[in-house]
Structure 1
Amino acid sequence: MTRTRVAFGAAAVALALAAFGCAAPRDDCPSVTPRVGAQRPQLDAAQARAYSRERVLGAAGRAGDLQRDGWDPLADTVITGERLPAFQYRVDPAWADGRTVFATVQAAVNRAHTDIGAGAQRAPRIYIGIAPGRYRELVFVPTGPVPITLWGLGRLPHEVTIEEDLDAGVGAADYRRRFARVYEAPGVHPEVAAFYRECIREDAASRSCMNVMWVRNDGFQLRHLAVANVPGQTRQRHQQAVAFRSEGADRVHLEQVQLHGLQDTLYLRTPTPDSTVRSFVHRSLIEGDVDFIYGAGTAYFLRSEIRFVGPRRGQTHGWVAAPSTHLRIPYGFVFEDCDFSADGNALPGRVALARQWFTGAGCSPYGSQATACTLLGAGQSASGPGQVRRASIEAVGKMVVLRSRIGAHIDTAQPWAPWQTDPAHRAYRPAQFDGDDFWTRLASAGLDPAALGYARATPAQPWLAEFGNRDSSALSCPSGRP
């Protein structure tokens, strides 16, 4: 991994891995080789081989006890193929019968889980086909013994759109007014009903319920449709509004999907801060303007378009991703053969590829703030300002971009941003490019990493890095992807 201040060798990674197939630079988008420097570390070829899809997605679980199962999402030729599967249920308001055809996506999901629980549905996977149309609803897919696939039946993905206008400004009373008709109706799955009851508790909606699609189903698949959460006052409000949230679900596969939003479009949440679950995003489009791909999960994005839209009123900068990968989880977000593009409103050089989410930080030991910052012991919870949890320190965030096209909206001199730009901010944390940065910054803050139980790996593991990318001189190079 090449940096001005330090060099890393191949020993940092496992060597006996299959090589990547090289993606040729796009002919329709003028590009150049990236400038390399201390703020833009590059992997060498041997290191890059450690970020193969098979390696990244091959294991999940708790830090220190990852379970390897060799998951390969591309081995499922149904979800990646061109032939339609046999659908056990369909969504089509014009032909709804309440048994196998339903007016809403949530009703079909409810019935599938009811039938599974009653033993009336024994298929190893449930396929739900969704007719073209705009479905103004929320969709919650609960846990269960059988994985579910939602499959849009339009000619193009956007012809089947599940959408809502829902951000963190929505209170519990408004949430109930808008969604009681669906979630207080008879026949709602108990886990779905429990999620709804949590969201109508006072102030709960603004904390965690601003999701259009919320998935807890291991093995869940989404194919050939769009999910959108774009609050109505898009140029005035700056609040969280999630289109798709994976809540501790493992082996999630998004295929030919469009996710539309602004802030926090795609949320990949793990069961615990020190664990990981896996997601695979293939031939898809994700758009937003602030931290619009975020969370602690491990995810592989292949041949997809990552589009910045904006800026909104009063916004001068943007951030694509905000990983919060745990210190001892080897992989966070990996992008291969992707297009980092922008719409016509983007400002050149004002967007970062990522900033590492300093989750739950009540103060920062890294900044220049005058007040003291106390690091709490393991298991302790912060009770006020001036305290930071171990979980916050250990949410280091990891992201690697391979053989992709980087649009002119990205700051190519410094594509990795700090969490908060002002060193005096209570949650400031500079970009940490590798394990050495983690160690030296803690030591500089007066915290002994060894005394805290951290081991210093030699050589250091890369946390933020690139390999084989091309910088575009254009803001937007449409990928032509589905």
Structure 2
Amino acid sequence: MTHFRSKRLPQSGTGPARALAAGALAAALGLGTLTPAAAAPAPAPPAGAGDRPAAGPAARSPHAEEPHGFASLAGGTTGGRGGKVVTVRTQADLARYAGAAEPYVIRVAGAIDVAPFGTAIDVASDKTIIGVGTSGEIVHGELRLNPGTRNVIIRNLTIRDSFVEGDWDGKTNDFDGIQMDSVSHVWIDHNRFSRLGDGMLDIRKDSTYVTVSYNRFEDHNKALGIGWTSNVATQVTIDHNWFKGTKQRNPSADNCAYAHLYNNYLSAQVDDGDPVWTYGNWARGRTRMVIENSYYDGVQHPYQADATAELVQRGSVLRGTTGRTDSRGTAFDPRDHYAYRLDPAAAVPALVSRFSGPQRTLGTDTVLDVPAAYPTVQSAVDAVPSGNDGRVTLRIAPGTYREKVRISADKPKISLQGTGQNRSDTVIVYDTPAAHGGSTGSATVLIAASDVSARNLTFVNDFDEAAVELNGEQALAMKTTGDRIVFEDTAFKGNQDTLMTDSPKLDVVSRVYIRDSYLEGDVDFLYGRATTVVENSLIRALSRGSATNNGYITAASTWKGNPYGFLITRSRIVSDAPAGTFHLGRPWHPGGNPDAVGQVLIRETELPAAIKAAPWTDMSGFSWRDARFAEYRTYGPGAAVSPDRPRMSDAEAAAHEVADYLAGRDGWAPHLS
């Protein structure tokens, strides 16, 4: 915004422009539980205190985002990582993106009825195909990976109903669910296969580095076949799958160099009186197979091996089984290849029946890794489709990202998530002043979309206003115009105009919630017209070296029809400025618009001695007395009572809680999560 100010005052050495040398970003002061007015004032945080540490790593979830087993080896399987995210609902769109030369993350939303019946949709290299929740289905068709295809992830889909009545043995129509020939690095995870034309999943002809995990194979003759080759090349991990109501190939593994089967559940086997071709696991040819901690319930021939194969079984449970349980040779030790965690065999039925097949929580949140898959934060934002209807999380690794980031209004539901131990580990910084592009152009990060969140990050504009004399020294670290924006455990660093929370136009209400965060600046460094709550946070008012006026914390431009502007609550304001030299705020009327009538409430917050006894002041010819400024139960050395200091009554304060500011018409309540 435009300010009318006297000659530039000298700076102290405390601003971020002087603190952001490479590798020298100081951690924002740590936050504990902040003290309300009724309790004793909170002690000052120790100098140089680090941010709150993140929780330690959890055990691997069955919904892990990265493949394990053989698919994780030899460079790993990343699918469409690094490509654009698209959502498909038609066969034409699925075929277009699945067959493209470039990488894609393809979200399947809804059932895609494939025509003609049994048609194969080709899947090219570097693809992730994932169902959105439990909605993604491929009906009457198959997915096919042709020779030479590599790096494919297929997850969370239902693939069903290409079965042709009267063709129980699948000899007439080769309509598999997923078929792959001579491919490498494939992860098949959390899918459901049901009533298909031939094999549900065929892994053929020297396919290598394959993992098949947490799938359901049900109501069919042939489940999972591996081989159709004389070469002994395939390496496959098969874990936590449920073979329910299937007859054979659970799996059949022909000439596999390594076949590692663990924690699988075989139940309700088809019983058609066939003494040979009704079976569980079969090591065929020269396969080396290891079976661990699986559960066989009512299965004929639970596991068997040809005379030329090797099979080792340990730890499995057999309940009501009959027939062969072969043991031959020493096979191999899977831990020579990768680490893994075995679940107890007795727990497998409950675990697999719960977690196998499509999951409600998968596919709804797409994860993009920066810089592992996308070199910059902006490149990851660019990969998000316009009008995306699912949450996209950008996991940003520790480091300093010197770039501008723009999240346009047509890209809602993006989450920025720093992955470091502290918010100071991951910094997005740039140094543009308003003189070189206006206040919006100066913003290091601009969020115009709604339903965006940021966590465990630091946002900085490190323009050095002391070193350059400009007409337009405003330099925003962050500007928002979208609705329902959440900042949690974030830091905002700058001098003038550090954080602007705005809306698309004056009479449109946008809401922003800031919790457990750090905010610093000197002039109007929390400003705009959005309804904004700052809770349980630390606000640092930087000194400009003046003995009389060091700046203004807020500059609200709330629309007159909006009763809620800025609420700073249960927080702490600190300052190194001299006593009585800092304002709580002033009213900003952009362009002199009289309908911008600022509203600010400082509630149950500690104030430093730097706050003036008359803490509100006029701006650009508009009196602060015409704005809606007040305090409620502030405390600390800067909270002295004076005639020029409006206080909100208990009755008024009852209508100015956090929920009142945020609820709007849709009941938004991020403070409760």
Query: Which category of TM-score, normalised to the shorter sequence, fits these structures?
Result: 0.5 to 0.7
Match of 1:103 in 2: 375
Q: Which runs of 4+ in 1 moved over 6 A?
A: none
Match of 1:219 in 2: 451
Match of 2:475 in 1: 241
Q: Relative to structure 1, is the Cα distance of residues 155 and 107 closer, same or farther in structure 2, using a 3 angstrom cutoff? A: same
Q: Is the contact made by 1:334 and 1:401 (CA closer than 8 Å) also made in structure 2? A: yes
Shift of 1:293: 0.6
Match of 1:163 in 2: 429
Match of 1:429 among 593, 618, 622: 622
Match of 1:468 among 633, 645, 652: 633
Match of 1:414 in 2: 614
Match of 2:393 in 1: 127
Q: Is the contact made by 1:29 and 1:472 (CA closer than 8 Å) also made in structure 2? A: no
Matches within 5 A, 1:72-221: 88-92=367-371, 95=372, 101-113=373-385, 124-144=390-410, 146-170=412-436, 205-206=437-438, 208-221=440-453
Match of 2:605 in 1: 404
Q: Relative to structure 1, is the Cα distance of residues 315 and 163 closer, same or farther in structure 2, using a 3 angstrom cutoff? A: farther
Instruction: Specify the SS of the correspondent of 2:434.
Output: coil
By relative contact order (CA 8 Å, sep 6+), the higher-ranking structure is 1
Match of 1:334 in 2: 567
Shift of 1:305: 0.9
2:496 is equivalent to residue 230 of structure 1: no
2:578 is equivalent to residue 347 of structure 1: yes
Match of 1:4 in 2: none
Shift of 1:142: 1.3
Q: Is the contact made by 1:128 and 1:148 (CA closer than 8 Å) also made in structure 2? A: yes
Letter in 1 for 2:414: I
Distance 2:498 2:474 in 1: 8
Match of 1:273 among 506, 528, 544: 506
Q: Is the contact made by 2:392 and 2:415 (CA closer than 8 Å) also made in structure 1? A: yes
Q: Is the contact made by 1:353 and 1:415 (CA closer than 8 Å) also made in structure 2? A: yes
Distance 1:312 1:235 in 2: 15
Q: Relative to structure 1, is the Cα distance of residues 408 and 160 closer, same or farther in structure 2, using a 3 angstrom cutoff? A: same
Match of 1:258 in 2: 491
Shift of 1:86: 6.8
Q: Is the contact made by 1:23 and 1:337 (CA closer than 8 Å) also made in structure 2? A: no
Letter in 1 for 2:376: T
Shift of 1:208: 3.2
Distance 2:632 2:439 in 1: 37
2:592 is equivalent to residue 358 of structure 1: no
Distance 2:44 2:379 in 1: 44
Could you give the per-residue CA deviations for residues 310-332 of structure 1, whole angstroms, max 9, x where no partner exists? 21689943000000111111110
Q: Relative to structure 1, is the Cα distance of residues 433 and 403 closer, same or farther in structure 2, using a 3 angstrom cutoff? A: farther
Q: Relative to structure 1, is the Cα distance of residues 225 and 234 closer, same or farther in structure 2, using a 3 angstrom cutoff? A: farther
Deviates more, 1:352-361 or 1:282-291: 352-361
Q: Is the contact made by 2:547 and 2:578 (CA closer than 8 Å) also made in structure 1? A: no
Distance 1:253 1:211 in 2: 18
Letter in 2 for 1:102: Y
Shift of 1:272: 1.5
Q: Relative to structure 1, is the Cα distance of residues 308 and 112 closer, same or farther in structure 2, using a 3 angstrom cutoff? A: same
Distance 1:337 1:255 in 2: 15
Shift of 1:137: 0.2
Shift of 1:333: 0.1
Instruction: Specify the SS of the correspondent of 1:465.
Output: strand
Match of 1:394 in 2: 595
Letter in 2 for 1:430: S
Letter in 2 for 1:108: A
Letter in 2 for 1:335: I
Instruction: Specify the SS of the correspondent of 1:279.
Output: strand
Structure 1 spans left out of the alignment, 5+ residues: 1-20, 31-84, 96-100, 171-204, 362-391, 420-426, 435-462, 475-482
Higher strand share: 2
Shift of 1:27: 4.5
Q: Relative to structure 1, is the Cα distance of residues 309 and 112 closer, same or farther in structure 2, using a 3 angstrom cutoff? A: same
Q: Is the contact made by 2:502 and 2:528 (CA closer than 8 Å) also made in structure 1? A: yes
Shift of 1:230: 2.0
Could you give the per-residue CA deviations for residues 224-271 of structure 1, whole angstroms, max 9, x where no partner exists? 010100213436546110110002x00000000000011111111212
Q: Is the contact made by 1:235 and 1:312 (CA closer than 8 Å) also made in structure 2? A: no
Q: Is the contact made by 1:396 and 1:432 (CA closer than 8 Å) also made in structure 2? A: no
Distance 1:235 1:472 in 2: 33
Q: Is the contact made by 1:236 and 1:313 (CA closer than 8 Å) also made in structure 2? A: no
Q: Give the % identical residues.
A: 28
Instruction: Specify the SS of the correspondent of 2:513.
Output: strand
Q: Is the contact made by 2:434 and 2:475 (CA closer than 8 Å) also made in structure 1? A: yes
Q: Relative to structure 1, is the Cα distance of residues 473 and 334 closer, same or farther in structure 2, using a 3 angstrom cutoff? A: closer
Matches within 5 A, 1:10-49: 24-28=39-43
Shift of 1:26: 2.5
- So what's the TM-score if we normalise by structure 2? 0.40
Match of 1:15 in 2: none
Distance 1:166 1:145 in 2: 24
Shift of 1:217: 1.3
Distance 1:164 1:312 in 2: 25
Letter in 2 for 1:113: P
Shift of 1:24: 2.8
Match of 1:308 in 2: 541
Shift of 1:360: 1.1
Q: Is the contact made by 2:384 and 2:392 (CA closer than 8 Å) also made in structure 1? A: yes
Instruction: Specify the SS of the correspondent of 1:393.
Output: coil
Q: How many residue pairs are counted as aligned between the two chains?
A: 285
Shift of 1:206: 3.2
Could you give the per-residue CA deviations for residues 269-318 of structure 1, whole angstroms, max 9, x where no partner exists? 21221221100000001110000011111011100111111216899430
Q: Relative to structure 1, is the Cα distance of residues 133 and 321 closer, same or farther in structure 2, using a 3 angstrom cutoff? A: same
